[in-house]
Structure 1
Amino acid sequence: MDHIETSALETKSVGHNADISAAFDEFMGAFSAFKEANDERLKNVEKHVGTDVLMTEKVDRINRALDEQKQAMDHMVLKQARPTLGGQLPIINGEHKNAFQNYVRKGDEQNLRAIELKAHSYGSGPDGGYLVPAELETEIGRRLSVLSPIRSLATVRQVSGAVLKKPFSVSGPATGWVSETAVRPQTNSAQLAEMQFPTMEIYAMPAATSSLLDDAAVDIEQWISAEVEAAFAEQESAAFINGDGVNKPKGFLNYDTVDEANWTWGKLGTVATGTAGALPATDSSDVLIELIYSLKAGYRQNANFVMNRKTQSALRKLKDNDGQYLWQPPATIGDKASFMGFGLVEAEDMPDIDEDKTPIAFGDLSRGYLVVDRAGIRVLRDPYSAKPYVLFYTTKRVGGGVQDFDAIKLLKFSV
């Protein structure tokens, strides 16, 4: 029997991999069709034949199909990475795991209360719920790093307090060369800026039926993880980009900006396209090259472009002087697409191309942006507010903000 079940699982896994491979092949075929159609459109423009409406519509249609296929393929890769509801997490603390299961399924909080008393982290159900087992917290964090585009790029720190205070050297100490026997001059002190990253509460409230909770075949921890991870990732992604810092992290687009020629600490540098709401009509790639080289060499090594799907769709049509497309599809399943040789990360909360907007960010976000997680995810069981459903008020505390203002540059669509 075990052999039959194992074979079935292996067959299912192989079948899913075949589906992803087929989707990848279909995506690459669509990109070839896009290049062929766009090349024909550009030839007509160069010959001054005029705009072929049907050809333009064809290019746009294939372009949209590319976005949809890439999104579907990414979803399949994520689905493969997610453990099934019947799967088991590694048991790190069996006592905590069993107590949490009894609390979620039956509302029995006695054992959880005893565990948290022993851990000196007591929290009653009515006041805010109970901490999830450590392995479940780790699983949710791992999944968020995959689902949340900015979190996947940024530096993530876990803290036990409400605020992370971090000193940052704005300008290092003076240095120089001296001979072996010369007197060593005293160096100037480094200029330090204290940066504070408070954590804010984010919540999700999945609902379950009594039959789901009574079904012993369902791993209830995996169910909670699957329910809350998408909600957390969606809220985080929006906050890390556009958050105003009030009861949420501060997004990097919410900081003051200044033209790169006048850049100062505390602001993000911008490069203007020279055309309001658009790239230049000719030599469009020049401003993108300028954006890339506005970033210091040390940051460029690990830099990525960040933009939404509509912006990516517009840039996909661009070529360099040798006729090569600047946008290139991922080399293998699960990889990122690339643009001008750098990784391209799709973040739907980036603004669309418009006048005076900054829809394209470029930089090393691992050095530029800091995500702060406060240890502990809490679940409060509520069987009363939405009878006959049981609600699970799940909360975690997250903060974020720019930590190095020299590591992120923005392309501004303005004169």
Structure 2
Amino acid sequence: MPTDLKDVQAVAEALGQKFDQFKAKQDERYDLIEKELVTLKRPGSIAEGRKSQASSEGKSALRTYIKSGDDSGLIELQGKAMSIGSDPDGGYAVPEYLDQEVESLELDASAIARLARTVTTAGPNYKKVINLRGTTSGWVGETDGRPETGTPQLAIIDIPVGELYANPKLTQAMIDDAMFDAENYITTEIGDEFSDQLGAALFNGDGTNKPTGILTKTITAEADGVRAFGSLQSVESETAGAIGFDDLKNLKAALRAKYRTGAAWIMNDNTALVLSKIKDNNDDYVWRDAVAEGEPDTLFGYPVEIDENAPDIAAGAYPVLFGNFQRGYYIVRRTGRRLLRDPFTSKPYVNFYTTERVGGDVVNSECIKLLKVKAS
């Protein structure tokens, strides 16, 4: 017996009404969640308030420790608003706000630090296994035989973590001066020292108790797939002592297309000034100034990052780097910066011995290319 059409329509209408009710409830829930997220992001929200309170507590505890050596506030903050790391030599994990201030100064000073990937380790080193692409692969049909795959060629990159220290000092009279902002002075001194040392090491470090700098790697003109593992490729300029339009094009082309997403240029201000005046074959500048404050200039559509540690244009130098540094270079940090107040070693000064543990190395040498200035 055929189903009555009116019955089918009634069932369809009932289902439609239930779906509309369900959709209305879900829309209401979505709106509520969205409002809560906006509230949490808004200045003065509960989340912001807790963050501000933690920062205030950290500053207060640090101020007390600097002025009197009273460490009770720092001990109380352990595990609460601190960057925690064990240290058998003593000292206290610095408050989170100081940790962030120091790291911010390091990023401001080093383009490599801004662009590279940062990983953390709890031990004295960080190991990464690299596949040298020795495994065989290919396409086959559903019933075709599968040839045996080759043995993959693996290499291990071992990045040791060295200790970077700063030891700013103050007289007791300066500490006791109510008008003197001792904690800000200590924070700035530590940040400046750490940023200078780290920025230089990421270019020229020898890997002994410090990062292995990009310019200390073996550098050759050999292309990807030919040169030895871990060595970097350079592209030489066509004119001695100078950089031209074609040199930049050649350097860009040397980086494989799959690595160009996220790629950037690194150079110092002097080099940037020279390159900003280069024109293409149509007499147009290839450099594009940033359109908004805080945005980087671009070269061939890729951002330009300025780093004063990059060398100047000179015969045999490598003043321009181009690559995907997020995939090509790892900075390894061992959790926690440490601070130790020492009023005994350098009387009448009070030392504030501060350490951080950091290392770094190239992990994918295909991702970073260097422009070499022709000597003659």
Q: Under a length normalisation based on structure 2, what TM-score does the superposition of the two structures give?
A: 0.76
Q: Could you say which residue in structure 2 is the equivalent of 1:349? A: 309
Aligned-pair CA distance for 1:200: 0.9
Secondary structure in 2 aligned to 1:273?
A: strand
Cα deviations by residue, 1:255-284 (Å, 9 ceiling, x for unpaired):
0111134533221001111333223xxxx2
Distance 1:97-1:287 versus aligned 2 partners, 3 A rule? closer
The residue aligned with 1:229 is: 191
Tell me the equivalent position of 1:411.
Answer: 371
Candidates 106, 111, 131, aligned match of 2:93: 131
Q: Does 2:201 correspond to 1:271?
A: no
Q: Which amino acid in 2 is paired with 1:276?
A: A
Question: Counterpart in 2 of 1:290?
Answer: 250
In structure 2, the CA distance between the partners of 1:232 and 1:93, relative to structure 1 (3 Å rule), is closer
Counterpart Cα distance in 2 of 1:123 and 1:252: 30
Q: Does the C-alpha gap of structure 1 residues 347 and 146 become closer, same or farther in structure 2, counting only changes over 3 Å?
A: closer
1:391 pairs with 2:335: no
1:323 aligned onto 2:283: yes
The secondary structure found in structure 2 opposite 1:234 is helix
For residues 175-227 of structure 1, the C-alpha deviation after alignment (integer angstroms, 9 at most, x for no partner) is 21111223333322322110011111111223345466457788765553333
Aligned partner of residue 245 in structure 1, secondary structure? coil
Query: Structure 1: how far apart are the matches of 2:231 and 2:219?
Result: 5
Q: Give the secondary-structure state (helix, strand or coil) at the position aligned to 1:90.
A: helix
Q: Does 1:381 align with 2:345?
A: no
| C-alpha contact 1:243 1:251 (8 A) present in aligned 2 | yes
The alpha carbon displacement at 1:139 in A equals 4.0
Map 1:108-187 → 2, pairs under 5 A: 108-109=70-71, 112=74, 127-171=89-133, 173-187=135-149
**Partner SS, residue 192 of structure 2:** helix
Per-residue deviation at 1:108?
A: 2.2
RMSD: 3.2
Which among 264, 276, 280 is matched to residue 304 of structure 1? Answer: 264
**How many angstroms does 1:406 deviate by?**
0.3
- 2: distance between equivalents of 1:129 and 1:220? 18
Shift of 1:167: 0.7
Structure with bigger helix share is 1
Report percent identity of matched pairs.
39
Cα distance in 1, alignment partners of residues 302 and 79 from structure 2: 50
Within a 5 Å distance, the mapping from 1:350-365 to structure 2 comes to 350-365=310-325
What is the count of residue pairs matched by the alignment? 323
What amino acid is aligned across from residue 268 of structure 1 in structure 2? L
* CA pair 210-310 structure 1, distance change in 2 beyond 3 A: same
TM-score normalised to structure 1 length? 0.69
Unaligned runs of 5+ in 2: 1-49
Distance change in 2, residues 1:225/1:89 (3 Å): farther
1:217-245 superposed Cα distances (whole Å, 9 cap, x missing partner): 88765553333222211111100011111
Partners of 1:217 and 1:91 in 2: how far apart? Answer: 23
> CA separation in 2, counterparts of 1:296 and 1:122?
42
Larger Rg: 2
Contact 1:158 1:375 in 2 (8 A): yes
Residue of 199, 215, 240 corresponding to 2:202: 240
Shift of 1:98: 5.8
| Structure 1 residues 185 and 145: CA distance shift in structure 2, 3 A | same
Of the structure 1 ranges 211-220 and 362-371, higher mean CA displacement relative to structure 2 is found in 211-220
Deviation of residue 289 (structure 1)? Answer: 0.6
- Is the CA contact (8 Å cut-off) linking 1:116 and 1:122 kept in structure 2? no
How far apart are residue 333 of structure 1 and its match?
A: 0.3
Match of 2:46 in 1: none
The equivalent residue for 2:47 is none
Instruction: Give the Cα separation in 2 of the matches to 1:117 and 1:309.
Output: 42
Kindly provide the amino acid, as one letter, of the partner of residue 370 in structure 1: Y
Distance in 2 (alpha carbons) for counterparts of 1:138 and 1:306: 24
Contact 2:202 2:213 in 1 (8 A): yes
Q: Does the Cα contact within 8 Å between 1:363 and 1:409 map onto a contact in 2?
A: yes
| 1:173 aligned counterpart, secondary structure | coil
Are the equivalent residues in 2 in contact too, given 1:91–1:97 (CA < 8 A)? no
Task: Work out whether residues 308 and 352 of structure 1, in 8 Å CA contact, stay in contact via their aligned partners in 2.
Answer: yes
- 1:371 has 2:335 as partner: no
Secondary structure in 2 matching 1:350: coil
The equivalent residue for 1:11 is none
Alignment partner of 1:374: what SS?
strand
Shift of 1:383: 2.4
> Which shifted more, 353-362 or 290-299?
353-362
| Matched letter for residue 302 of structure 1 | G
Distance of 1:229 and 1:175 partners within structure 2 = 49
* Superposed displacement of residue 143, structure 1: 4.1
